[in-house]
Amino acid sequence: MQEKIKKEAFDVLDMKNYRMEKLPIREKSKFENFLMQIGAPLAIISFLLLMFFVEVPFLKNIDVNTLSESGKANFNSIGLQQFIYSNKAMLAIFTASLILWVTEAIPNYLTSLILIIALVLTKVLPEEVAYAQLGHKIMWLNILSFILASMLVATGVAKRFALWFILKFGKNSSTIMLSFMVINIVLSLFISATTAKAAILLPIMMVVAAVYGASKGDRNNFGRNLILQNLFQINMGASSFLTGSGANLLAASLIGGAIGSDIFFSQWMIASFPVALGLMMIGWIIGTKIIFPIPKNERLPNISGGMESLKKELNSMGSFSFNELKSVVIFGLILGFWVTDKWHGISPTAVAFVGAIIALMPKIGIIKWNDVDIPWHLLLFSAGAYTLGAGFKVTDLPSISVNAFFDAVGFGDSTPFWVLYIVLTGLMVFSSLFMQSKTMRTMIFIPIAIGVATRFGFEIVSLALPVAFLIEHVYVLPFNSKPALLLYSTNHYSMTDAFKFGISMQTIAWVISILMAMTYFKWLGITPNGLF
């Protein structure tokens, strides 16, 4: 009887019922718990074996001529034996860190702190270089982006825009889906945390799903499409822009360091945004027309006056405030400078610095420091990833291991570009099926792409940048990303539903990336002419 009363008391149209803290927490599976238990011992054993007991074949005879310029410089300064030792230590630390990150035996930020001090104690990196990664300009851009995103959340601009757009254009199931597509693209310009975007939109999605007949576990194809489409769009929106996620920024930093010049915001956007937008449209068609076709009775609201609850929520926010106007103006100016960075030369970090200072300025600003939500655990994790990147650069381990691999499998220097492109992009896309961290995948596959390009004499950008554009394809299974886990908790779709839609879109994205390499990327000068 009490359960019945509780069920009746639950208002499916009340947005407050769908806050993150009220969603059920997914329990780890037996396999995930098993991984957590063996993670730490496996990491320790791997480190000790690689560091002290196992002779790594490709590190015994290093050909100096195959090293990068930074690798050659380090080799000449420390000598052969120390160079081999540094590479062994780098490999041992990287392998142990990878195991800890994958198994989640300890928090990822703690793994980063351990690997930073390990690189110092093994003398792979001097303290000045290892500790300085927290002050990397991309790290600052991450911090500043969170400050600016907090400005939008604190003032309510992001929520107001989403509610207004849905009420204005969401008249039926098709326009609802397309409205969320536009909302996700706009929010991706300003909010770099995909989880934050999911959290902002989640209550709105849940109410809309209820209006169209999907609530409290009553699944239908509209609800499946609404949540899965948003998960896909959140990630594709992030892939559209350099500031879309910290992993994008890390990839750009690694590529920029390898080529000796910056990857511009405008350069990334012009290449990636049209492809991401095309994938969103394809995902909308595949989802609503083929995999989960929406029947006629789900194409219009099922609850009479249901959309009024969203209107009520919007009205409760009051009139458009002066602070909201200031936040829109600040972000509009920041976006203008970001988009035109290739022409004026002011870095995105410097632009964000000015914007954050204005936003925090007493009296004329918009938010106080206590209103800023900065996930320091994620930043510490990123600092560890950047320190690994510095270690890779000093030891040249990616180039050495890539050369050894291709020599072992018999790939000659005449291997066609298209073979390398297909293999590298495929690895990046489908690696997300078993790796949760986008940053970790970036740290693995971007250096590999750089090493492959260097070995075979291709421009680094031609392989590394297309691989970077595929970082955000993390939507197939609940554990593939935090937004995937969050939206899976809504109970609007099963793991099988997510897999069917997700694996379809991953495969399509891989094929389209190959087609872009043959056409659009070639026209932009990213991929070389005559090699496809």
More confident residue, 392 or 8: 392
> How far from 451 is each of 91, 405, 420, CA to CA, in Å?
15, 11, 12
Rg (CA), the chain: 24
Query: In 10 A of CB 67, how many CB atoms?
Result: 21
Beta-carbon contacts of 403 under 8 Å, excluding residues fewer than 6 positions away, are 58, 63, 66, 451, 455
351-370 mean pLDDT: 87
- The greatest distance separating any two alpha carbons of the chain, rounded to the nearest whole angstrom, comes to 79
Instruction: Please report the pLDDT score of residue 280 as a whole number.
Output: 96
Q: Is the pLDDT of residue 313 over 70?
A: yes
Evaluated on CA atoms 449, 467, 265, 479, the torsion sign reads: negative
Give tens-digit pLDDT for 461-484. 999 999 999 999 999 988 778 888
pLDDT at res. 5: 43
pLDDT score, position 500: 95
Write out pLDDT tens, residues 213-268: 777 667 889 999 999 999 999 999 999 999 888 889 889 888 887 888 888 899 99
Query: Is it the case that residue 532 has pLDDT exceeding 60?
Result: no
Please check the confidence at residue 13 and state whether its pLDDT lies above 60.
no
Rounded-to-integer distance, Cα 243 and Cα 348, Å: 9
- The pTM (predicted TM-score) of the whole model is 0.80
Alpha helix ranges (H) inside 104-220? 108-121, 127-132, 137-155, 157-169, 173-190, 194-211
449 and 254 Cβ atoms separated by less than 8 Å? no
pLDDT tens, residue by residue, 74-95: 888 888 889 999 999 999 998 9
Those residues with Cβ within 8 angstroms of residue 465's Cβ, 6 or more apart along the chain or in another chain: 255, 263, 271, 526
Residue 18 predicted with pLDDT over 60 = no
The token duo for 476 is 């197939």
Contact 253, 386 (CB under 8 A): yes
**What would the pLDDT profile of 137-191 be if each residue is shown by its tens digit?**
778 887 888 888 788 778 888 888 888 888 888 788 889 999 999 999 988 887 7
Residue 1: pLDDT over 50: no
- How would you class 80 by CB atoms within 10 Å of its CB: exposed for 0-12, middle for 13-18, buried for 19 or more? exposed
Q: 468 versus 22: which is more confidently predicted?
A: 468
Question: Exposed, middle or buried by CB within 10 Å (0-12, 13-18, 19+), for 487?
Answer: buried
Q: What is the pLDDT of residue 4?
A: 47
- Confidence band for 25, pLDDT divided at 50, 70 and 90: low
288: its two tokens: 């609503």
Q: Determine phi and psi for 245, rounding to 5 degrees.
A: -160, 160
| CB of 481 closer than 8 Å to CB of 198 | no
Tell me the pLDDT of the chain averaged across its residues: 85
pLDDT at 2 over 50: no
| Per-residue CA distances from 442 to 345, 398, 449 (Å) | 26, 13, 10
| Structure confidence at residue 6 (pLDDT) | 46
Evaluate if residue 293 carries a pLDDT over 70: yes
The stretches of 340-437 forming alpha helices (DSSP H) are: 341-344, 348-360, 376-395, 397-409, 417-431
Separation CA 157–CA 317 (nearest Å): 10
CA–CA gap between residue 476 and residue 193 (Å, rounded): 19
pLDDT above 90 covers what percent of the chain? 33
Mean pLDDT for 480-497 is: 85
Cβ neighbours for 413, distance < 8 A, ≥ 6 positions apart: 455, 456, 457
